[in-house]
Amino acid sequence: MTSDEIEVPKEIRPFMLEGAEETKLGQKNGAIRQFRYGNLHIREYEDKYLVHVDKVDPRNDPLGHLIHDAPEFLIGIASAYWGGKKVASEVYKLQKNKPFAEITADITGLLASVVTGYMGYSIVKKLKDF
């Protein structure tokens, strides 16, 4: 649970807003299912609901939602692209006269993109939740 979420225990008040739509948009964070009602994001767990308000509804403006509510995804993608491309390029320069240089560079770049993408995502997520 992040600091901007409200916890509603089911034992106190089982609820669901009329008109809330079940959605796959958003991080489930272990929830059974999740709903959206305008900018309201509701995650349902076995014993509670976690509710928070997004700045931008991803159903209406996906890019705006990523920029304002989930920048960790954009940073993760950019980090993956930049890290993978940079490593692949350097490996290819070092190996270009050897057999399988291109394949080696591609595989190394792919692995680097996974690592750098995850690192970028994780750092921004921790900063955002801090």
User: What is the rounded distance in angstroms from the CA atom of residue 6 to the CA atom of residue 53?
Assistant: 10
3-class DSSP string for 98-118: CCCHHHHHHHHHHHHHHHHHH
User: What is the rounded distance in angstroms from the CA atom of residue 28 to the CA atom of residue 36?
Assistant: 12
Q: How confident is the model at residue 19 (pLDDT cuts 50, 70, 90)?
A: confident
Instruction: Tell whether the model's pLDDT for residue 98 goes beyond 90.
Output: yes
Mean pLDDT of the chain: 92
Mean pLDDT in residue range 115-128: 94
User: What is the rounded distance in angstroms from the CA atom of residue 7 to the CA atom of residue 117?
Assistant: 31
**pTM of the shown model:** 0.76
pLDDT tens for each residue of 43-86: 999 999 999 999 999 999 999 999 999 999 999 999 999 999 99
User: What is the rounded distance in angstroms from the CA atom of residue 8 to the CA atom of residue 10?
Assistant: 6
User: What is the rounded distance in angstroms from the CA atom of residue 119 to the CA atom of residue 113?
Assistant: 10
Q: Which residues contact 13 (CB under 8 A, 6 or more apart)?
A: none
Instruction: Tell whether the model's pLDDT for residue 25 goes beyond 90.
Output: no
